[in-house]
Amino acid sequence: MVMIDGVKDGCPCAEGPHCSAQVWVATYKDGKNTGLMLSKIDDQWTLGYVQAWWLEFEAIREEQRLLARTPRPRPEAIQEALDEATALLRLLWEEFPSCEEDELQARDKGS
């Protein structure tokens, strides 16, 4: 089953100036719900920057969880992969899509 919410005009500034609308799309299959926020960027429905960021974050976080389940003492290769996943998550947090200061000020003045 596929569920599509109503299209919302406009986007958070973190999606960039070319985003004009967003819609939530969810599927239900085999007892599991999966949802994505699609953004209309340059007149094309696609994953926006924030949704793409979250998908990447969740994939790395799941890998980290699986590696962390390895009993201690962990083999060196497992520990190195776990350390790498942890470092990637830290770097990814620094790259979370956000608004530039001037975009925030312009939006606040327009309100």
Predicted confidence (pLDDT) per residue in 37-58, tens digit = 999 999 999 999 999 999 999 9
Closest CA to 94 of 68, 58, 57: 57
Query: What's the alpha-carbon Rg for the chain, to the nearest Å?
Result: 18
Whole-number average pLDDT of the chain: 91
Does some domain include residue 110? no
**Does 64 share its domain with 94?**
yes
**Does 6 share its domain with 23?**
yes
**Does 14 share its domain with 37?**
yes
- 48: DSSP letter: -
Structural domain for 35, as ranges: 1-47
**Does 93 share its domain with 58?**
yes
- Of 47, 65, 85, the residue at which a domain comes to its end is 47
The pLDDT of 69-84, averaged and rounded, is 95
Share of the chain above pLDDT 70, in %: 90
Query: Which of 110 and 97 is assigned the larger pLDDT?
Result: 97
Does some domain include residue 106? no
**Does 11 share its domain with 53?**
no
